[in-house]
Structure 1
Amino acid sequence: MTSSLSAQGAQVAFGAIQQDTSLPVEVTSEELAVNQADGTAIFTGNVVVGQGEMRLTAPRVLVVYREDTRGIDRMEATGGVTLVSGPDAAEADRADYSIDQGTIVMTGNVLLTQLGSALSSDKMTVQLDLGTAQMSGRVRTVLQTGD
């Protein structure tokens, strides 16, 4: 028997472990365009962002550097994004990663899969250092209730 559940918000665990957001960020892609004037870099083509156990993939990632050019301020992934941490995976149209806050905000057709369960929503905010995620905006899941 299955049961469908809809709600306005839900908090769930995300990732097998808490993510250390001070670890280096590695980005690989097919192409890179750097704009020294505004302190940005655009990675395109099979972009993979890795930090510790976390992997984010997207067709395009904009990296915005801090004004002092000492590190990354934020990253904006667009064009269909997949985020994997441990056994958990999430997909969305867009993901915005704030490095200092240790948060990833995924928006647009968010789908989270965990151990055979799936949740969908309009928005998911992942707190990497806590290993949690808050889903909001028409959250839906199907719960397995037995055999």
Structure 2
Amino acid sequence: MTVISRIAAAAAFALLMISGTAFAQGASVAFGGLKHDASLPVEITADELNVDQATGSAVFTGNVVAGQGEMRLSAGRVQVQYATENGQVTGRIDKLIATGGVTLVNGGEAAEAQKAVYSVSGADIVMTGDVILTQGANALSGEKLTVDLTSGSGRMEGRVRTIFQTGGN
């Protein structure tokens, strides 16, 4: 990287850092690796499963890994909420609610948080609590990450902090 390129990269980074609190409070970013087909089946493995037919939910605990296509979500606990029609549970998954060391991996991107709610029918994931997103060598953190899995777009909110690798030595 030439000296001029390094100065330009440093100037761009400085401009981003002083451009105002709007950037510090929320940032829209591309999540191409998190784009996927939400119609694929969901496979879940865990140490234990408790099912409540009355409420239409199942709770997986202990080393839980939920997979759909190439996307993997791991956590200490995942509650599965099933969709209902006319007051009856359909057996179709509506939401996965993950807590306890949540990690979401898809392609070259990974995100960690305290909690994640994956709306299968809405094809979106909302991660909250000390969220860290890594995309290759770059990292982004905040309090809330919302990802639209259909478009691959997302938004990080809550005192956003980022580290950009400039490729320099």
- How would you bin the TM-score normalised by the shorter chain? over 0.9
In structure 2, which of residues 136, 145, 163 is the aligned counterpart of residue 142 of structure 1?
Answer: 163
Which residue in the other structure is 2:112 paired with? 91
Aligned CA RMSD, in angstroms, stands at: 1.7
CA distance in 2 between counterparts of 1:144 and 1:94 reads 28
Which residue in the other structure is 2:27 paired with? 10
Which residue in the other structure is 2:152 paired with? 131
Residue deviations 1:19-72 (CA, integer Å, cap 9, x gap): 001111111101000001110100001100100110000000000111232301
**TM-fit CA distance, 1:15:** 4.3
Amino acid at match of 1:143: F
Which residue in the other structure is 1:22 paired with? 39
- 1:112 lines up with 2:133 in the alignment: yes
Residue deviations 1:116-146 (CA, integer Å, cap 9, x gap): 1111000000111111221011110122343
In structure 2, which of residues 80, 83, 106 is the aligned counterpart of residue 66 of structure 1?
Answer: 83
Cα contact 1:15–1:85 (8 A) shared by 2:
no
CA distance in 1 between counterparts of 2:104 and 2:31 reads 10
CA distance in 1 between counterparts of 2:34 and 2:57 reads 30
Cα contact 2:131–2:143 (8 A) shared by 1:
yes
Higher strand share: 1
CA distance in 2 between counterparts of 1:54 and 1:91 reads 14
Higher helix share: 2
Runs of 4+ aligned residues of structure 1 deviating over 3 Å after TM superposition are 1-6
CA distance in 1 between counterparts of 2:94 and 2:73 reads 17
- Unaligned segments of structure 2, at least 5 residues: 1-5, 18-22
- Unaligned segments of structure 1, at least 5 residues: none
Which residue in the other structure is 2:3 paired with? none
Corresponding pairs, count: 147
- 1:80 lines up with 2:101 in the alignment: yes
Cα contact 1:54–1:85 (8 A) shared by 2:
yes
- Structure of greater relative contact order (alpha carbons < 8 Å, 6+ residues apart): 1
- 1:48 lines up with 2:65 in the alignment: yes
TM-score, with length taken from structure 1: 0.92
Cα contact 2:34–2:109 (8 A) shared by 1:
no
